[in-house]
Chains A and B, each alone.
Chain A
Amino acid sequence: MSDALRSQSNGISLENGLIGTKTKRYGGLERAMGAQMYVADLDFPDALQVAIVTIPVGCADIIGVDTSVADTMPGVVKVMTAADLPSPMPRFGVSHKDRPVMADRRVNFYGEPVAVVAAETKEQAEAAARAVRVDYRELPGAYTLDDALAPGGHLVQDPSDPTVRPKDPLRETNVLEGQTIEWGDVAEQEALAALIVEDSYTYPMMTQFPIEPLGFVIEPTDAGGLDIYCPVQHPYLLQRIVADLVGLPLTRVRVVAPDPGGGFGGKQIPKLEPVVAFLALQTGRTCRMVLNLAETTMSIRRAGSQVHARTGFSAEGDILFHQVQVDYQLGAYADVAPRVMTKGSYVAAGPYRIPAVSIEARAVLTNTTVSTAMRGYGCPQVSWATESQITDGATRLGLDPAQVRLRNLVANGEEFVKGDYAAKADGEWKQAVEKAMSLAHWDDPLPEHHGRGIAMAIKSSATSGLSQSLVRLLFDGGALVYAGTSDMGQGARTIWAQTVADELGVPLDRVVVVSGDTDIVPFDLQTSASRSTVFMGTAVVRACRDVRRQVREMYAERAGLPVDDFRDEPGVLVTPDGPIALDAAARTALGPLRGEFLGQGTCRLEGRKGHPLGGDASFYEFNCSITEVKVDPGTGQFVLVRHVTVCDVGTELNPIQVTAQDEGGAIMGIGQAIMEQLVFDSHGRLLNPGAVDYRVPTFQDVPLDLCTGSVENHDGPGPYGSKGMSEGPILCTGAAVGAAVAAASGVKIKDLPLTPERVWRETHSAAQDVTV
């Protein structure tokens, strides 16, 4: 654990405070009553509504855009095309500045904007968008990994444009980035193996599917700047990217971020905001773009993958070597997906002690929806393969798959990635496995057609980062905490409120959490990677302790006593005459001028140059999942009888929020295991945008018995020994369900999702193979 992050919170008593209790969700009542204002609920009476012009294929050269009819349609204020934007076309991105604000002479994915229309009403904008005539020549886009990797295949980013990937030796390929992680001698271990399992696996493209669709409003200000209202997970990133693109200083670009109605990674990185920023500046009017769910599924997704794995085992079940070749299917532009590849592949060998490992990973561009961050961030895409390999190996060796895992699982402090940039286990992961096995009644016999599967996986949290917080203790004992985390359902605001309430002794209903405004709230890098409890939590604690220190110093000064005669503790100033409530001490210290105390806290973790992840992980999320299914062999349908998920969380700062996030992550993982996939046709068109044919779990798809659990050893780097959480339950759900189906049906399936048809098809053809 990094010293930079080590909290001074060890020794804090959790017995009397709110930390560790089921404090009700901050802002929960407003949400339950329909009073919470999401971005689409905000009233902008004079706003123009914006619609996007697209073409019905995934890859084409744009020959001409004719707006003559659209320009004159009722209510239309502006039809903006590439000709209205600076030349060369401005581009943006996080690791690669490759995404054009609007399609630049070529459409590279289905749904990429060719033009945008601003009109007085949404219907007028959409009607005008349909009236824009785009003359295009369809190209044979690279829509699959096979297309993208085929020699001589279509290149998604055109190398004839010298600004595209200059100096990149891979620029004449669709491979954007690659990573190799290896240690040990595979050949040497191979000679010792009693069993080698070799197979190929696929993980489809999926989408975040937040119930609040993408939407935002951009208002040009009198000062020549922009106010952006966007439920973005990374407000400061959006601010910086838009400011760069339009050439404004940060002081002129304000991002107001209402709490998102779900993000799951899909609301992190700018996508359509830049084009509307230009539109707002050019029209001088407020511009509002609110998509529906289908349009949202056309704009954001997670990377799919193809994995080839080769794993060697001893007869006793030791994993001797593990080779992985994984290709991540990215969309047309990089977004954050290269990092999804590096982070996912870094842990591709799992939390195990393996003498020889070779991981070769590639991030491959395709002419599809831009893939971005999604809960799990590259790990589910490889754990599907790695865990299926281990289950397969154990089964073939006649060994218990849980025992094989326990046998190979690293101990606390032991390396699971070796080499110059090694990684060590930072928890008693074995406890999580044993807890899961107990909750799942692992050793109980099962009836016919039932099967049980186990899987485990890890994910590295943030490897660098910066969060800053301010806390104001007011004269009447209330407090405001400024924390830039985006509360998108995980309950961040609640945690900050609990923390301030405990640290400063403020009643919970007198703590106000301010976030989502770059003009008012200090910098937070982002809300992602389960980082906020650790990073922002630490910043909030430090801000509170800064307040306490100031109270102590000022009180001592006013009393005319040495400051060392006093001590500050949560909610209390301990004086030579005994303890007094902190707020009373504060009032005394402030004296007749009144006023307030303003505390500042920063949590900064610098990365490590050369490290494949950019730095050591601040902590690891570890998860063990166990599923039991009952298969209907006639149809391939199966019931999830039980699903258990246990994570190593350090400390549960709010147990009810932990349970809700764990259940939610597990159910999302189940959805991704059994029903979710984006399907594109041969013209690169998405065939199942929206809720009718993109299946997500409903009330009736939840396991009959869903069991979540935590291991708490207070060994995390965050406040009160906490780690981050909420991605754990989704890391290896696919493999757990797959293993259960394999155990029930006798057939190993290597492609997700495990739809009834796939299960039927695989079991049916296996049965036919036997009879032939």
Chain B
Amino acid sequence: MLTYYKAQTLADALEVLGRPDVEGRALIGGTDLLVSVAEKEDGTPWVVVDLKGIEDSGEPLVVTDSGMRIGLTLTMAELAADPDAGSWYPALTQAAGEVGSVAIRNRASVVGNICNASPASDTAPPLLVHEANVRIASAAGERSIPISSFFRSPRVTACARGEIVTAIELPRPVPGTSSAYRRLTRRWGVDLITVSVAAAVHGDGRVLLGLGAVAPTPLLVELPVGLDLDDRQALADVLDEALSVATPITDIRGGADYRSAMLRELADRAIQAALESTRRSGNGRSVRN
């Protein structure tokens, strides 16, 4: 038996979601949650807590010299369309612009996407390579953890009962950083990923890769420092080693060996795309893909 509750404040939402006697689920965009609503109607009480009306949740998106803060209600469409976000975090805006359809993106929230913690989340790999932190609020206060510690297993995050993610915070990339996102699907139209890779080539020489749908959680991999990315053979060897942490499975969307091979292929393409955009812009600020 579903009850709908529209939270007024953060404290209000935390209190309701923290109650031990009732199963509560947070609702922002609803594009994941509502798929399962009908099936849950078996008479046991549960409450959907709508967070969209919270007065003190802050701005949906703030981009400053020191970084970017993604608020509770920011939708994929809004993120994909923001030129400043696209300038500094192109892999992320590209990914946000490829989730589902226009109508889904008008509704789906970035915060909701990471809280759903699907291993195939599109925003997770770019958030990983841009070293985002997740701000988590509870009745006791606030904490911030790196996104690489946020995903625990499929559909399970570091949030405990009674905790809500209130923001995702990304540091301003150092000059010369660029990133790109590449996803593989079964058809050209709207689709969930078979495999995806985000690559960030940081201005300080670090190369980070975010891997989607090849493990129980999205993975972050860092390539050895000092790599000459133009040496294709050296890069190939390094990638083989680095990507071996992936443990893809065979499911309805793809076979394990195909996923492994495509991971390799996409990693290469994502890195090349990131390098390309650095070279194109020339001044250390990446152009939006």
Q: What residues of chain A have their CB less than 8 Å away from a CB belonging to chain B?
A: 123, 126-127, 130-131, 634-635, 637, 639, 674-675, 679, 687-688, 692-693, 695, 697-701, 755-757, 760-761, 764
Contacts and interface: CB of A to CB of B under 8 A. Distances in A.
Nearest to B184: A635
Interface of B is mostly: loop
A692 B190 CA distance: 10
Nearest to A639: B188
Interface string B242-274: 000000000011110010011001000100000
A756 B266 CA distance: 14
A679 B252 contact: yes
B188 A701 contact: yes
A130 B186 contact: no
Given A123-B41, A695-B191, A761-B258, A675 B252 contact: no
Nearest to B266: A635
A760 B184 CA distance: 13
Interface in B192-218: 192, 194
B184 A756 contact: yes
Given A756-B184, A756-B186, A635 B252 contact: no
B141 interface: no
B42 A698 contact: no
A698 B252 contact: no
Nearest to A634: B265
A698 B184 contact: no
Nearest to B35: A692
B253 A693 contact: yes
A695 B187 contact: yes
Interface of B: 38, 41-43, 184, 186-192, 194, 252-255, 258, 261-262, 265, 269
Contacts of B43: 127
Given A127-B43, A637-B184, A757-B254, 5 more contacts: A692-B192, A698-B187, A700-B189, A760-B261, A760-B262
Nearest to A632: B265
B258 A760 contact: yes
Nearest to A693: B252
Residue in B42, B188, B265 with the greatest tally of chain A CB atoms within 10 Å:
B188
Contact of A698 (B189, B194, B254, B269): B189
B254 A126 contact: no
B197 to A, nearest CB: 12
Nearest to A292: B38
Contacts of B194: 756-757
A687 B38 CA distance: 19
A40 B261 CA distance: 46
Contacts of A130: 42
B42 A675 contact: no
Given A130-B42, A635-B265, A675 B187 contact: yes
Contacts of B261: 760, 764
Contacts of B269: 634
B64 to A, nearest CB: 36
A268 B278 CA distance: 59
Contacts of B192: 692
Contacts, number: 57
Nearest to B259: A757
21 contacts: A127-B42, A130-B42, A635-B184, A637-B184, A639-B188, A679-B252, A687-B252, A692-B192, A697-B187, A698-B188, A698-B189, A699-B189, A700-B187, A700-B188, A701-B187, A755-B186, A756-B184, A756-B186, A756-B194, A761-B255, A764-B261
A757 B186 CA distance: 8
B262 A635 contact: yes
Contacts of B184: 635, 637, 756
B159 to A, nearest CB: 26
A692 B253 CA distance: 10
Contacts of B255: 757, 761
Contact of B190 (A635, A698, A756): A698
Nearest to A671: B187
Contacts of B262: 635, 760
A126 B252 contact: no
Contacts of A123: 38, 41
Contacts of B186: 675, 695, 755-757
Contacts of A674: 187
Contacts of A131: 42
A687 to B, nearest CB: 6
A757 B41 contact: no
A276 B194 CA distance: 41
A130 B188 CA distance: 37
A702 to B, nearest CB: 9
Contact of B189 (A697, A755, A760): A697
Contacts of B189: 697-701
Contacts of A127: 41-43
A204 to B, nearest CB: 13
Contacts of A697: 187, 189
Residue of B184, B186, B194 with highest tally of chain A CB at under 10 A: B186
Interface centre among A639, A675, A688 (most CB of B within 10 A): A675
A637 B266 CA distance: 13
Nearest to B268: A634
Contacts of B252: 679, 687-688, 693
Contacts of B187: 674-675, 695, 697-698, 700-701
B38 to A, nearest CB: 7
Contacts of B191: 695
Contacts of A675: 186-187
A639 B187 CA distance: 10
A131 B43 CA distance: 11
A675 B262 CA distance: 18
B176 to A, nearest CB: 28
A699 B188 CA distance: 9
A764 B255 CA distance: 14
A98 to B, nearest CB: 31
A156 B269 CA distance: 50
Nearest to B189: A698
A635 B266 CA distance: 9
Contacts of A687: 252
A607 to B, nearest CB: 42
B252 to A, nearest CB: 5
A695 B38 CA distance: 23
A131 B41 CA distance: 11
A761 B269 CA distance: 20
B253 to A, nearest CB: 7
Contacts of A699: 189
Contacts of B258: 757, 760-761
A181 B219 CA distance: 58
A697 B189 CA distance: 7
A639 to B, nearest CB: 8
A257 B269 CA distance: 53
Contacts of A637: 184
Nearest to A761: B258
B7 to A, nearest CB: 25
Contact of B41 (A126, A635, A755): A126
Nearest to A74: B43
A169 to B, nearest CB: 40
Nearest to A756: B186
A136 B281 CA distance: 66
B31 to A, nearest CB: 12
A124 to B, nearest CB: 9
A701 B186 CA distance: 11
A345 B186 CA distance: 31
A688 B188 CA distance: 19
Name the residue in A635, A688, A761 with the highest tally of chain B Cβ atoms < 10 Å from its Cβ: A635
Contacts of B253: 693
A635 B190 CA distance: 18
A130 B186 CA distance: 34
Nearest to A760: B258
A294 to B, nearest CB: 11
A126 B38 contact: yes
B4 to A, nearest CB: 15
B209 to A, nearest CB: 17
A675 B189 CA distance: 12
